Amino acid sequence: MLEMRCYVAAIERGETVCKKTLGVGRLLIIDVCKHLMSLNNPEAYESQAVLSVLRQAVGRGGEVGSSIWKSCSFNHDTEQWELEWPEEKTGNANLMTFTRDATNFEIDVFHSMAAYLTVFEGRLKRNEDKYLFPCFANMRKGGASEKVNGILKKCVGKVDGITADMTPSGIRVAATDEMVFCEKINDIVAIMRGGWYFDGESRMYYYVTKRCHVSKGGVVLGNHKDPNRKVPLYRLDPIINDSNKDRIQNYMHQLLGKSSPNTGILHKYFLASLIYWYEDFNLAYSTNIVVTQRMLTVGNKFLLKHDTFLVWS
């Protein structure tokens, strides 16, 4: 009763009585990623990859620090990257899928991860027991979330629309809204992808349909028109032939680093995304950007030039 009276009194004084999380939606995240990419340094590309992955995973800020390469796999039927996404709030690890973006490389998870691995020049030790984002791992409780929060805070005053009271939770809120407002899927898609507990579901329904619903949610967040259709991923097949097969394979290993059984197939799609977006990427940021410079530096060793990538793109 006393609490209710306090709320009423606060309302009468014209004060707010609850703290709502401000959504950080798709267009705003794109602008943030554009700003980060313009900084042209490895740490900025790491931040861009973190935001891209976090948005598609509908995750909480600190959860990117617990994701490991060992849990990664590739689903050839859906053509999606899958991993066991750790939920720090519940202590569970749930299936998460990632698909390519239909229109923007800035938040395309495959391109963002490829650029991140490229600019770190293979310094990341991606053994099967290592983290996707080592700089966000093994921090004190809440540390990874604060670090993600810091990415947004540094954009205040530099990216229109980003305010000081926005947090990583806003990314989760906006991604959920994006799925719920899509008329071509039902709300259970957002519930399952977000990892919420739903009293109305049966355990059998949950286990049998989870991959389907989580996958559709990823397609929606990838800005594809029909979430019920399979989204084909970028492929190296159209550019590979007997004369360049070994060169491209060696180029990939040197550019993205050594791979494990869990990451080898993913590296092929990461490289394909870099090539697919190559022309658009360089029109937006020029060939002086650190990602392109390393692509060309490594490419020179294998007779892969700027013009070659343009044709392939």
d(CA 174, CA 163): 15
Tally Cβ neighbours within 10 Å of residue 1: 5
Q: What pLDDT is stored for residue 285 in this prediction? A: 86
Q: What pLDDT is stored for residue 279 in this prediction? A: 94
Q: What pLDDT is stored for residue 55 in this prediction? A: 93
Query: What percentage of residues in the chain have a pLDDT greater than 90?
Result: 43
β partners of residue 84: 95
Backbone angles phi, psi at 92, to 5 degrees: -100, 160
Question: Which residues, in sequence order, are CB contacts of 245 under 8 Å at separation 6+?
Answer: none
d(CA 38, CA 34): 6
Q: Which amino acid, residue 221? A: L
Name the band, by pLDDT with cuts 50, 70 and 90, for residue 128. Answer: very low
CATH number of 26-234: 1.10.443.10
Name the band, by pLDDT with cuts 50, 70 and 90, for residue 93. Answer: confident
Tally Cβ neighbours within 10 Å of residue 249: 16
d(CA 98, CA 80): 6
Q: Which uninterrupted H or E stretch holds 95?
A: strand 92-98
Mean pLDDT of 12-17: 60
Rg for the chain (alpha carbons), in Å? Answer: 21
Mean pLDDT of 102-121: 92
Alpha helices in 154-263 (DSSP H): 169-180, 187-194, 203-221, 245-256
Torsion of CA 118, 121, 123, 126, to 10 degrees: 30
More confident residue, 93 or 276: 276
pLDDT tens digits, one per residue of 152-191: 999 999 999 999 988 888 998 899 899 889 889 888 888 8
More confident residue, 124 or 286: 286
d(CA 161, CA 179): 22
Q: What pLDDT is stored for residue 116 in this prediction? A: 94
pLDDT tens digits, one per residue of 211-233: 888 898 889 989 998 988 999 89
Name the band, by pLDDT with cuts 50, 70 and 90, for residue 124. Answer: low
- pTM reported for the whole predicted model: 0.88
d(CA 89, CA 71): 19
pLDDT tens digits, one per residue of 237-289: 999 999 889 999 999 989 988 777 667 789 999 999 999 999 999 999 877 88
